[in-house]
Structure 1
Amino acid sequence: MKKFKIYAYAFLGVILLAVVCLLPLPVYLESVGKAINVADYVTVKGRTDESKGKLMLTYVSLQKATPILYVTSFLDKYTSRVPASEISGGETNAEFDKVQSYYMTDAVNQAKAISLKLAHKKYKRVYLGIYVMSILKNSTFKGKLKVGDTIVAVNNRHFDSTEGFMKYVKAQKKGSPIEITYLRDGKQKKANGKTVTLIGTNRSGIGISLAEKTKVKSPTKIRANMEGIGGPSAGLMLSLQMYSQVANVDLKAGRNIAGTGTISSNGKVGDIGGIDKKVVAASRAGATVFFAPNNPVSKAEKKADPTALSNYDEAKETVEKDNLKIKVIPVKNINEAISYLRNK
C-alpha cells in the first residue's frame, strides 16, 4: 500500500510537471531575437556579396507560453506577454504562417522593385491576382476559399489590378451569384457563392480581406531565399542589400549595419512592431548603426495610447535607457538610408 502511494504521488508529480512545462497558454512571449546578415540570403545574377561588413535584418523571437515560461518571462525586461488573439487575429497556426509568408514574399518583391528602380535597371511588375488573407464569418465562401488562395478571376472576368476587381464586385447587388476562379497549391479551382453586405457598410462584397499578389520580372536576376523568416519588416534591409549588389555600390564600408522597416515600391519605409527588441538584437550582434522608421504617431494611435512613440523615438529611448553602443538613424524612405551610408 505504501509503495502504491509513492507511485501515485510520483505519477501525479510527473503529470503536474508536464502541465507546468508543456501546457500551452493563450499567450505569446515576444522577446529579443537575432540580427542576421542579409547577404547570406540574397544573390544577384548568381553571385553572392562577399564584401566586408554586414547589412543585417532584425527580428523578434515569438513563442507560445507555458505556465513555467510565463512566470520566468518576468525575469527578462525585454520580454512582452501578448494575448494570442492579438498575434494571430483568431487564425489557425497554418493560416497565420501563410499570412506571414505572404508578407515576406511581398517584402522581397517590393525590395526588388525599388532596388532595380534606384539602380536604373529594367523591370516590370506582373499582376498575379488577389491573395486571400482572411474570410469573414458572413461570407458565402467560408469553407470554400482558404487563406493563401489566389483569386485570378470573378465570373470569368480577369483583372490587371486589385482596384478593378474591387470595383467590379462592389457594383454587384447583394445576393448576386459569384463564381471565383482561384489557385491553390498550383492547381486552378472554382467556387460559387453570393455577394453579401460587408459588415459595418452598405456595400456589397464577397466577404474576404485581401492583398495584391504581384511578381517582379527583370533581366537582372535577383533571388532571395527567406525560408523560415516571415513578416514584412525586413523590407528596408533587403532593399539596401539588393541595391548594393545590383548597382555594385559598397554601402557597408566594412561596417555592421542593422535596421528594420517595411518598404514600398516607391521607397517609403513603414513602421513595424517590437522595435525595442530589434535594436537590442542589433546591438548584441555588433551593429554600430540601426535604421528606424521615422513616421509620426497618428492621432488615432495617440488617442488609443497617449504614451505611444514613433518607431524612431522608441528605439532611441531603448538605446539611451540601456546605454547601448549603437547609433539610431531615423529614415522615412530608402534614399535617406542610402545617403547616410554614402556620406558617412
Structure 2
Amino acid sequence: MSRRALTLLVSGFLVLALGIIGAIAKVPYVVLSPGPTENTIGEIDKKPVIAINGHQTYPTSGALSLVTVAYQGGPSSRIDLLTALRGWIDPSVAVVPEETIFPDTRSQKQVEEENTVEMTNSQDFATAAALTELKISYTTVVSVVSTEKGKPADGKLNQGDEINTVDGKKVTEVKTVADAVKSHKPGENVTFNITRGKDQLDVTVPTVATADGKAIVGVVMQSSYKFPFDVDINVGDVGGPSAGLMFSLGIVDKLTPGELTGGKDIAGTGTITPSGEVGAIGGIAQKMVGARKSGASVFLTPADNCDEALQAAPDGLRLVKADTLHGAVLALDALRTGKGAVPSCSTG
C-alpha cells in the first residue's frame, strides 16, 4: 500500500471514529433555536387564541404575534456532540450550558412545570394590564398560598385566606403586604383583615427577624384577579412569561374599535405586569429570527433588550422599543397612522 493510500485510510478511519464519538457522546448543553409564532388575534386549530365573552368585541386584522424559543437537550435528554457543534456553527441558534436553563437545584420536570405556571400568570397579568389600559375596573385578590412551619403566621393564617387589609391599608397586590410587614421592627405585630370562607376576621401576627434583621411573618401569597367578563387564552404547549405584552395587545385590539395593526404583521415579546410595565426576556436573537421567518416586519422589543436586539436583528425587521403597554399602543397607533413618534431601539 502506498504512503498516500495509507494516509487516506488512516484519515478516513479517524473521521469515522470522530463521527461515531460525536453521535454517541452526550454533552451537558442545550440548543436554543427559533420556535413557532402564534398570532394572538388569530386562531389555533380553528379556536381563537384570545376568546372574550361578556363584553363587546371588534373585528381585527393583521397579526400581533407572540414568539417562542425551542430547545433541545436537558438533564433527561442530553444532546450529542455533533448537535452541539452544528448549533455553534449556525448563527440563528445558541448553545448554552445546561445549568443556564435547568439549574442543579431543580429537575427538568420542575423547570417545565414552573414555565407552565409562569405562562398562566402572564395571561392573568396580561388581562389585568389590558383592562388597566382601557380603564375597565376589576378586583385584585391576594390570598395565602402557605405558611412557613415554625414562623408566626403558621397556625394563624390558613391556605386560601383572602387578605383584605394589612394594618388598615387596603391590599391591592402582594407587594402591599410585603412592604407593610417589612416596615415593622422585628417583634412588632401586624394586623391582617382576612376573609376566610364566609367570615371576615382580624388576625394579629407578631413578626420575627430574618438573618439580615428584617421583619417577616412567614407567609407565602399570590395575587389573583376577578374580572368583569371572561378572557380565555389558548396557546397550546407554550410556557414562560414572555408573551405577556402580546397577549395584552391582543386583548386591547379585540376590545376596541379599529385595528391596532393597520393590517400589518407585527410580532413582539416582553413580560407584563398588571400595571402595564414591560420587562426583559431571554432568547431575543432566536425570537427575532422566528418573527422574521413568519413574515413580521415590526418587532416590539422590551427596552432592556434593545442593545442585544440591535446586534442580532435580521434584515427587514424594524425594532420598536416598548417599555409599557401604553407606550406600545401609542407606537402602533403612530405606525398605523403615520402620525407621532415611533420609539426605536436605535435611537435610545
Sort the TM-score into its range (normalised by shorter chain): 0.5 to 0.7
Give the SS at the match of 1:279.
Answer: helix
Alpha-carbon deviation of 1:256?
A: 0.4
Cα distance, 1:222–1:28 mapped onto 2, change above 3 Å: same
Cα distance, 1:105–1:279 mapped onto 2, change above 3 Å: same
Structure 2 counterpart of 1:127: 142
Structure 2 counterpart of 1:82: 96
Deviates more, 1:53-62 or 1:116-125: 116-125
Correspondent of 2:125 among 81, 97, 110: 110
Give the SS at the match of 1:281.
Answer: helix
Alpha-carbon deviation of 1:239?
A: 0.4
Cα distance, 1:61–1:50 mapped onto 2, change above 3 Å: farther
| 1:330 and 2:330 aligned | no
Correspondent of 2:86 among 44, 63, 72: 72
Alpha-carbon deviation of 1:218?
A: 1.8
Cα distance in structure 1, aligned partners of 2:155 and 2:114? 26
Cα distance, 1:52–1:167 mapped onto 2, change above 3 Å: closer
Structure 2 counterpart of 1:98: 113
Please list the CA deviations of residues 164-211 of structure 1 after superposition, one character each: whole Å capped at 9, or x if unmatched. Answer: 4787699888xxxxxxxxxxxxxxxxxxxxx99867x35587999x6x
| 1:292 and 2:301 aligned | yes
Structure 2 counterpart of 1:6: none
Cα distance in structure 2, aligned partners of 1:74 and 1:327? 26
Structure 1 counterpart of 2:339: none
One-letter amino acid of the counterpart of residue 325, structure 1: G
Alpha-carbon deviation of 1:21?
A: 4.7
Cα distance in structure 2, aligned partners of 1:171 and 1:88? 38
Cα distance, 1:248–1:45 mapped onto 2, change above 3 Å: farther
Give the SS at the match of 2:27.
Answer: coil
Deviates more, 1:334-343 or 1:45-54: 45-54
| 1:313 and 2:307 aligned | yes
| 1:36 and 2:19 aligned | no
Structure 1 counterpart of 2:330: 339
Give the SS at the match of 2:65.
Answer: strand
Cα distance in structure 2, aligned partners of 1:25 and 1:156? 49
Query: Is residue 293–residue 331 contact of structure 1 (8 Å, CA) maintained in 2?
Result: yes
Larger Rg: 2
Cα distance, 1:117–1:48 mapped onto 2, change above 3 Å: closer
The runs of 5 or more residues in structure 1 that have no matched partner are 1-12, 133-138, 142-152, 174-194, 296-310
Cα distance in structure 2, aligned partners of 1:214 and 1:226? 22
The runs of 5 or more residues in structure 2 that have no matched partner are 1-15, 44-48, 165-170, 188-206, 337-348
Alpha-carbon deviation of 1:262?
A: 0.8
Query: Is residue 291–residue 337 contact of structure 1 (8 Å, CA) maintained in 2?
Result: yes
One-letter amino acid of the counterpart of residue 237, structure 1: M
State how many pairs are aligned.
270
| 1:45 and 2:60 aligned | no
Cα distance in structure 2, aligned partners of 1:196 and 1:88? 34
Cα distance in structure 2, aligned partners of 1:197 and 1:92? 32
CA RMSD in angstroms comes to 3.4
Give the SS at the match of 2:333.
Answer: helix
Cα distance in structure 2, aligned partners of 1:222 and 1:282? 25
Alpha-carbon deviation of 1:27?
A: 1.6
Give the SS at the match of 2:238.
Answer: coil
Give the SS at the match of 1:35.
Answer: strand
Q: How does 1:139-288 map to 2 (within 5 A)?
A: 154-157=154-157, 158=161, 159-160=163-164, 162=174, 164=177, 201-202=212-213, 212-288=221-297
Give the SS at the match of 1:154.
Answer: coil
One-letter amino acid of the counterpart of residue 120, structure 2: T
Cα distance in structure 1, aligned partners of 2:284 and 2:227? 33
Query: Is residue 297–residue 317 contact of structure 2 (8 Å, CA) maintained in 1?
Result: yes
Query: Is residue 115–residue 246 contact of structure 1 (8 Å, CA) maintained in 2?
Result: no
Query: Is residue 27–residue 82 contact of structure 1 (8 Å, CA) maintained in 2?
Result: yes
Cα distance in structure 2, aligned partners of 1:31 and 1:198? 42
One-letter amino acid of the counterpart of residue 326, structure 1: L
One-letter amino acid of the counterpart of residue 95, structure 1: Q
